[in-house]
Copies of this chain bind each other. A is one copy, B any other.
Amino acid sequence: MTLTEMGVCAKQAAAVLRTVSTAQKNAALTAIAARLEADTDVILAANAEDLARARENGMRESLIDRLSLTADRIRAMANGVREVAALGDPIGEITDGYCRPNGLRIQKTRVPLGVVGIIYEARPNVTSDAAALCLKSGNAVILRGGKEAFSSNTAVAMSIRTGLQEAGLPADCVQLLDKTDRETAAQMMRLNDYIDVLIPRGGAGLIRSVVENATVPVIQTGVGNCHVYVDKDADLEMAAKVVVNAKASRPSVCNAAETLLVHRDIADKALPLLSAALREANVSLRCCERSLPLCEGAVAATEEDWATEYGDYIMAVRVVDSLDDATAHIARYGTGHSECILTDSHKAAESFTLQVDSAAVYVNASTRFTDGGEFGMGAEIGISTQKLHARGPMGLTELTSVKYIVYGDGQVR
C-alpha cells in the first residue's frame, strides 16, 4: 500500500471514529488489550527476530534492553491500554458556549484532531501506548516505528487491528508503515492532505529532522535542558533533597535537571552541602570559576556545558549574582522544558515564575514531576516544548481540536 492509500484509509477511519460513542471506543480498547495478551507468543517470536538482528548489528546492551519484550512487558502494554479505556473521554465537551445578540447560539465543542502521525524510535510499547491514546481521543493514527523494532511493531499492530475489528471498528484506525526507510518517513512528513498533526517521539536528532522536513503541523516534544536555581532564601536541607532528586533519580529522562544555579549570597554555605549530596548520588560536577573551589572533586565547566542535556550522572554548576541573572542564564541556555526555584521568598517565587518561559516552572519541587501521570492526566503521548497547541505533558485533551457549532433560525449578515 502506498502512503497516499494509507492516508485515504486513515481519513475514512477517522470519519467513523468522529461519530462513535465512548462506550464503543472503550470496548475496542478492551478488545485490543485482550488480543495483545492472547497474542503474546506471536509478539515474542517477532521480538526475537528483532533482537537477533540487533545483536548481529552489535547494538548496545542498554538499547537491547529497551527493545526486549517479555510476557510481563506485554501484559504491562495491555494494562496500559486498559488504563486508557478507564480515562474520561474528552470528545464532545463544550468548552465554551454563548448566545450572540442576534440570537445565534455558538458552542465551541471538543472534537478529534482527525489523523495523527507518530514517528518514533526503538521501544515497541510506544506502538500500543500511542494507538490507545489516539483511539480514545477519536483519532486515526499512522505509526512509523524504528527499523530496529520493525518485527515487534508489526506484530503488535496486527494484534491491535484484530482487536479493533473484533469490536466492530475499522482496522485502519491504527496503521503501521511497512517501510522504515528515511524517504518514506520524509514523504509521511509532507502528507498534508491526510495527516492533521505529526508527533515525533525520540531523541533530539529525530525531532530536529521532523521539524526541518515536515510541512504537516508538528508538535515538538522532549528535549529538556532543565535548571534548578537555589535562591539566597532557600531552605538548604530541602534544596539538597530536591536537587539530588531532580538530577539523580533518573538522569536519562527529559525532566531530569542538568544545571544547578546558586545565588552568590548562599553559595559558600550551600555548595559544599549540595555538592556532597550530589557526589553521594554518584553525580560528577562541572563547575564555573566561582563554584569550583566550593565543590570537592569537581572539574571546570566549559561554555558547552551550559547547553548540554547530559542524560547522565553529570551536572553543571554556576554561581549567579541575582535571581535575574539566574533567569537570564535559563533564557539563554534552557530548552523551555522545566525549571525550579528553591526559595522561601514569596517575591522571588513570583519573579521566577513570571520571568521563566518554560512549559513547567516549579517552586520548591523537583523538575521530575513534569509528566502526564504526575500531572494527573493518566497517560501522556509526550511532553511538548513548543508553545503552539500544547505545552508540557500532553494527555488525551491535547490530542483534540475544537469545532464551532452554531445554531440559528435564519440569521443573515
**A residues neighboring B (CB under 8 Å):** 11, 15, 18-19, 98, 100, 104, 106, 111, 113-114, 192, 196-197, 211-212, 215, 217-219, 235, 238, 241-242, 245-246, 249, 331, 349, 353-355, 357-366, 368-370, 374-376, 386-389, 391-392, 401-413
Q: In the complex, are the beta carbons of A413 and B366 less than 8 A apart?
A: yes
Contact B410 A363 (CB under 8 A): no
Nearest-Cβ distance from residue A140 to partner chain B, whole angstroms: 12
**Given contact pairs A331-B15, A411-B366, A413-B249, A353 touches B405 in the complex (Cβ within 8 A):** yes
Q: With A354-B19, A388-B401, A391-B402 as given contacts, are A365 and B104 in contact (CB-CB < 8 Å)?
A: yes
Task: Give Cα A235 to B410, complex, Å.
Answer: 9
Instruction: List the B residue with the shortest CB-CB distance to A212.
Output: B215
A51 CB to nearest B CB, Å:
31
Bound CA–CA A366/B401 (angstroms): 23
- Residues of B contacting A192 with CB < 8 Å? 211
Tell me the bound Cα distance from A215 to B359 in angstroms: 20
Smallest beta-carbon distance A30→chain B, Å: 24
A113 touches B361 (CB 8 A): no
Q: Are A403 and B391 CB-contacts (below 8 A) given A242-B410, A366-B412, A413-B368?
A: yes
Contacts of A235 in B (CB 8 A): 410
Other-chain contact of A406, B215, B369, B389, B408 (Cβ < 8 Å): B369
Question: Which interface residue of A15, A376, A407, A411 has the most chain B CB atoms within 10 A?
Answer: A411
Known: A18-B354, A366-B413, A391-B402. 5 other contacts (CB 8 A): A19-B355, A217-B388, A242-B411, A365-B406, A391-B403
CB distance from A115 to the nearest CB of B (A): 10
Enumerate chain B residues within 8 angstroms of A389, measured Cβ to Cβ.
388-389
Instruction: Find the B residue at minimum CB distance from A192.
Output: B211
Q: Give chain B residues whose Cβ lies under 8 Å from the Cβ of A217.
A: 217-218, 386-388
Given contacts A354-B19, A413-B374, contact A196 B363 (CB under 8 A): no
Q: How far is the CA of A302 from the CA of B251 in the complex (A)?
A: 62
Checking B113, B403, B412 against A360 with a beta-carbon cut-off of 8 angstroms, the contacting residue is B403
The residues of B that contact A349 with a CB separation of less than 8 Å are 407
**Beta-carbon contact of A357 and B18 below 8 Å:** yes
- Sorted nearest first, the 6 A-B pairs with minimum C-beta distance are A365-B408, A245-B412, A387-B401, A389-B389, A238-B410, A368-B413
Interface centre among A18, A359, A406, A412 (most CB of B within 10 A): A406
**Pairs across A and B, CB under 8 Å, 19 listed:** A15-B355, A18-B354, A106-B375, A211-B215, A235-B410, A238-B410, A241-B410, A241-B412, A242-B412, A357-B403, A360-B406, A361-B405, A364-B408, A369-B411, A375-B404, A387-B401, A388-B389, A391-B402, A392-B403
The reply to whether B359 and A407 contact each other, CB–CB distance below 8 Å, is no
**Closest-CB distance, A327 to chain B (whole angstroms):** 9
